[in-house]
Amino acid sequence: MIVHSALRWSLVLALAWALPAHAQFEKTPWLARQVTPLLDVQDLQGQRWSTDQLKGRVVVLNFWATWCAPCKEELPSLQTLHELSGGNPLVLGINVREPASRISRYLQSTGLNFPVVLDSQGALSKQWGVSVYPTTILIGTNGKAQSRIQGDVDWSGPEAARWLNALNPTQR
């Protein structure tokens, strides 16, 4: 009995390792009655991003931190999306509770160059109801949040492409 149980767990662990790295996420709709918080932020390069200026664009609002292993796995696919998208969708990273110097060094060492905003006190993550990292909020062209994804996603993959295409009625 103990041998069978150990064998079963070995099989479960082997299957878990065989799954794609970006298979651990939960996507839920943004509740219709839940207000989309307003954005008025400045990224590390000094660019200001506001709700009004983002209307008409799909936004991938990603909350992350360097101490979060799944975040670090997800960031390269966000960079790929940023490079391939031409700015629509806009990838906007929100780094939570880390100093600017650490984030600047991290971005430079990894080659990530999509816009990143610092949420040094955690106010933005609280406003958006984020308590799990990474969390991504998908915002439609109408400026309203549409979905919340907790966990890491392959943003260069076909599933994410379907989600993003569904948010941009002009590209259907």
Per-domain boundaries in the chain: 23-171
Structure confidence by residue, pLDDT tens digits, 102-123: 999 999 999 999 999 999 999 9
Considering the entire predicted model, what is its pTM?
0.86
Residue 98 is predicted with a pLDDT of: 98
Distance CA 72, CA 34 (A): 29
Q: What per-residue confidence (pLDDT) applies to 172? A: 53
Residue 6 scores a pLDDT above 50: no
Convert 91-119 into a string of H (helix), E (strand) and C (coil). EEEEEECCCHHHHHHHHHHHCCCCCEEEE
| 26-61 b/e (C-beta count within 10 Å ≥ 16 → b) | eeeebeeeeebeebebebeeeeebebeebeebbbbb
Average pLDDT, the chain: 88
For domain 23-171, the CATH class is alpha beta
Record the tokens describing residue 55, joined without a space.
Answer: 């209307």
Q: Which residues lie across from 59 on neighbouring strands?
A: 90, 139
